């Protein structure tokens, strides 16, 4: 299968509100040989998006880059969307791609009224993540990768660190094109040094195949990473929860002492740490391998395979107990689902609203066939009102002169309210930017960083220009 290695550079770390500033993708065959011209495009920051100073300074994104690209965010989305359709079947690979880049991409497509090629299953959604592969690789074979060690004794798996430690050329760090090449070489190294991990990764790169693997094997070795360490877990599959995540029993604990507990008692026990119920996410490339990996690792190796299988059989013999766990699990999900104000905002409703209706899919296709002046006619034709909002925002950003005064004011007022709020919201705001500016200013003054202070002035001027478009409500 062909491998599509990709990377994004963005204005912020919140996938719901960021602006994609740079996108690079390169198609390889299964031996990591380039088989087509790479995709690389930059875009201006969206006019409704306040940049994060931290993200910009970390990635070397200067104000002239925020405003200077020929492409708008919409232009970039359309170009990338068309190229992905040309490439057809592939497995996507990236560093921290699944949790960040992929999530940013599908939101970019949705805001651009493009039918999402992954979620609408026009392409088989196969994804691997070199961050997860690197962590598992180090756990399986300590010599497979060299890693820097933090002051706390944890292995570091950032791309720049891994490339430096393993002699991988990495030019233009924090450039999407440079990161793509480095990621491809890292993936190739893992494939060559830990082939069993790579082969297993390809099998679980698709959600449905990952689920089949878990259901068939019943007991799987799961790689989990927290507190700076990767760990093996011998997980016995129980059921899928409302998020379609696999809920599993950690076999280092015998279920015997829990069998006779009632609802409230069991609920209390399941909340205790260490957790006896573990989560495996088939859609998020959670590394799951043959049970033997965990069985041969502590503490499972001391317990022994015979006892571990006995514990598994106890769960098989007590379906009512498993059902009670499922009831508790679902009840707790409902308890946690309090009203989050951000969920009322269309940009934050990717998973809340489900797939687009057939009518809205047809409207999306129609939108991209129309001239800009005719796209106004679609405002009132959408089933889901979030698409009507995206329709208006696209006109506001791309062709504001075509909007009526009332629609222009509607969009402008909404973003003025969002961007000026002093509440603790998930998106970047003018007050948050002002705080960042003060903090970095004090830091650069202490360091006598004159170049940095000059750069801050440029960012400040850039954001002040933004504020003129969005007056304080």
Do 172 and 217 belong to one domain? no
Q: What is the pLDDT of residues 242-278, one digit of tens each?
A: 889 999 999 999 999 999 999 999 999 999 999 999 9
In the structure, what pLDDT confidence band is assigned to residue 121 with cuts at 50, 70 and 90? Answer: low
**Coil vs helix vs strand at 22:** strand
Same domain, 288 and 317: yes
For residue 313, what is the domain's CATH number?
A: 3.30.1520.20
Above 90 in pLDDT, residue 123?
Answer: no
Are 174 and 212 in a shared domain? no
pLDDT reported for residue 338: 54
Q: Per-residue pLDDT tens for 382-416?
A: 999 999 999 999 999 999 999 999 999 999 999 99
Does some domain include residue 448?
no
Task: Tell me the per-residue pLDDT of 220-243, one tens digit each, with 9 for 90 and over.
Answer: 999 999 888 899 999 999 999 988
176-193 and 195-203 are packed helices; what angle lies between their axes, rounded to 10 degrees? 110
Q: pLDDT-based confidence at 61, cuts 50/70/90?
A: confident
CA 414 – CA 103 distance, rounded (Å) = 24
pLDDT for 228: 82
Same domain, 132 and 252: no
- Residue after which a domain boundary falls, among 143, 176, 196: 196
Q: What sign does the dihedral 13-15-18-21 (CA atoms) show?
A: positive
pLDDT digits 0-9 by tens, 3-38:
999 999 999 999 999 999 999 999 999 999 999 999
Looking at the structure, do residues 49 and 140 belong to the same domain, yes or no? yes
- Chain centroid to CA 8: 11
For the record, the structure tokens of 298 come out as 């502590």
Domain count, the chain: 2
Question: Which residue blocks in 337-376 are alpha helix, DSSP H?
Answer: 358-369
Burial 447-471 (b: 16+ CB within 10 A, else e): eeeeeeeebbeebbebbeebeeebe
The band of 218, judged by pLDDT with boundaries at 50, 70 and 90, is very high
Q: Answer whether residue 420 is part of any domain.
A: no
Residue 385 and residue 375: Cα distance in Å, rounded? 15
Task: Please provide the DSSP assignment of 245-262 as one string.
Answer: PEEEEETTS-SGGGTT--
What is the pLDDT at residue 227? Answer: 81
Q: Is residue 351 part of a domain?
A: no
Within this chain, do residues 98 and 179 fall inside the same structural domain, yes or no? yes
**Per-residue pLDDT at 125 exceeds 90:** no
Mean pLDDT of the chain: 93
Residues 258, 322, single domain; the answer is: yes
> Does some domain include residue 407?
no
Q: Are residues 173 and 308 in the same domain?
A: no
pLDDT at 124: 59
* Least-confidence region, from 92-106, 115-129, 421-435: 115-129
The helix or strand, by DSSP H or E, that contains position 129, with its residue range, turns out to be strand 126-129
Helix axes 130-140, 176-193, angle to 10 degrees: 30
Spatial separation of the C-alpha atoms in residues 97 and 187, rounded to whole Å: 13
- Let me know the angle formed at the C-alpha of 16 by 12 and 17, rounded to the nearest 5 degrees: 50
The residue written with tokens 């002169």 in the block is 401
pTM score, whole prediction: 0.93
Domain boundary residue, one of 144, 161, 196 = 196
Tell me what pLDDT residue 22 has.
94
The verdict on residue 416 lying in a domain is: no
CA 362 – CA 336 distance, rounded (Å): 36
Question: Using CA atoms, how far apart are residues 408 and 400, in angstroms rounded to an integer?
Answer: 7
Q: In terms of domains, do 302 and 234 share one? A: yes
Q: Could you tell me what percent of the chain has a pLDDT over 90?
A: 83
Q: pLDDT band for 337, please (50, 70, 90 cuts).
A: low
Range of the domain at 140: 3-196
Q: Which of 336, 361, 376 is the last residue of a domain?
A: 336
Cα separation, 219 vs 237, whole angstroms: 6
Helices (H), 88-122: 102-111
Place of tokens 């962590």: 135
Only one residue has tokens 């399986």, namely 140
Does residue 368 fall inside a structural domain?
Answer: no
Q: Can you list the positions of beta strands (E) in 257-404?
A: 277-280, 288-289
For residue 129, tell me if it sits in a domain: yes
Match 């969002």 to its residue by tokens. 418
Q: Which two tokens stand for residue 405?
A: 């005064």
DSSP 8-state symbol, 49: -
The winner for highest mean pLDDT among 144-153, 308-317, 350-359 is 308-317
> Residue 327 domain-assigned?
yes
| pLDDT score recorded for residue 385 | 94
Q: To which residue do tokens 């009332």 refer? A: 406
CATH at residue 169: 3.30.420.10
Whether 174 and 81 share a structural domain: yes
Same domain flag for 99 and 142: yes
The per-residue pLDDT for 441 is 97
Q: Are 143 and 280 contained in the same domain? A: no
pLDDT, one tens digit per residue, over 131-188 is: 999 999 999 999 999 999 999 899 999 999 999 999 999 987 768 999 999 999 999 9
More confident of the two residues 356 and 351: 356
């Amino acid at each position: 299968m062909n491998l599509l290695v990709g990377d994004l550079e963005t204005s912020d770390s919140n996938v719901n509100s960021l602006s994609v500033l740079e996108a690079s993708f390169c198609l390889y065959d299964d031996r990591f040989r380039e088989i087509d011209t790479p995709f690389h495009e930059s875009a201006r920051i969206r006019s409704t998006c306040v940049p994060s100073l931290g993200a910009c300074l970390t990635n070397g994104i200067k104000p002239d880059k925020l405003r200077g690209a020929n492409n708008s965010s919409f232009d970039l989305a359309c170009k990338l969307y068309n190229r992905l359709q040309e490439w057809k079947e592939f497995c996507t690979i990236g560093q921290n791609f699944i949790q960040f880049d992929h999530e940013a991409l599908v939101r970019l497509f949705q805001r651009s009224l493009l039918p999402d090629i992954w979620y609408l299953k026009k392409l088989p959604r196969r994804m691997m993540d070199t961050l997860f592969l690197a962590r598992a690789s180090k756990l399986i074979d300590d010599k497979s990768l060299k890693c820097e060690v933090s002051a706390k004794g944890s292995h570091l798996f950032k791309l720049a660190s891994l490339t430096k430690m393993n002699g991988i050329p990495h030019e233009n760090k924090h450039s999407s094109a440079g990161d793509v090449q480095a990621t491809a070489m890292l993936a190739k190294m893992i494939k060559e040094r830990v082939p069993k991990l790579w082969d297993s990764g390809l099998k679980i790169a698709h959600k449905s195949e990952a689920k089949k693997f878990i259901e068939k094997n019943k007991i799987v070795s799961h790689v989990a990473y927290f507190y700076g360490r990767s760990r093996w877990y011998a997980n016995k599959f129980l059921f899928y929860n409302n998020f379609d995540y696999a809920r599993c029993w950690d076999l280092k604990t015998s279920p015997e002492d829990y069998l006779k507990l009632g609802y409230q008692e069991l609920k209390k026990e399941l909340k205790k740490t260490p957790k006896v119920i573990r989560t495996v996410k088939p859609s998020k490339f959670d590394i799951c391998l043959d049970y033997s990996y965990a069985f041969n690792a502590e503490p499972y190796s001391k317990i022994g395979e015979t006892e571990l299988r006995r514990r598994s059989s106890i769960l098989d013999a007590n379906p009512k107990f498993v059902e009670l766990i499922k009831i508790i699990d679902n009840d707790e999900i409902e308890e946690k689902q309090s009203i989050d104000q951000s969920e009322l905002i269309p940009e934050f409703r990717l998973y809340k609203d489900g797939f687009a209706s057939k009518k809205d899919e047809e409207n999306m296709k129609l939108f991209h066939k129309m001239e800009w002046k005719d796209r106004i006619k679609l405002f009132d034709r959408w089933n889901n009102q979030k698409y009507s909002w995206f329709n208006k925002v696209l006109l506001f950003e791309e062709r504001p002169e075509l909007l009526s005064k009332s629609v222009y004011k509607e969009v402008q007022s909404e973003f003025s309210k969002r961007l000026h709020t002093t509440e603790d919201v998930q998106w970047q705001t003018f007050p948050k930017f002002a705080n960042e500016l003060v903090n970095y200013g004090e830091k650069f003054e202490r360091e006598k960083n004159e170049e940095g202070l000059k750069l801050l002035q440029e960012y400040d001027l850039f954001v002040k220009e933004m504020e003129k478009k969005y007056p304080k409500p």
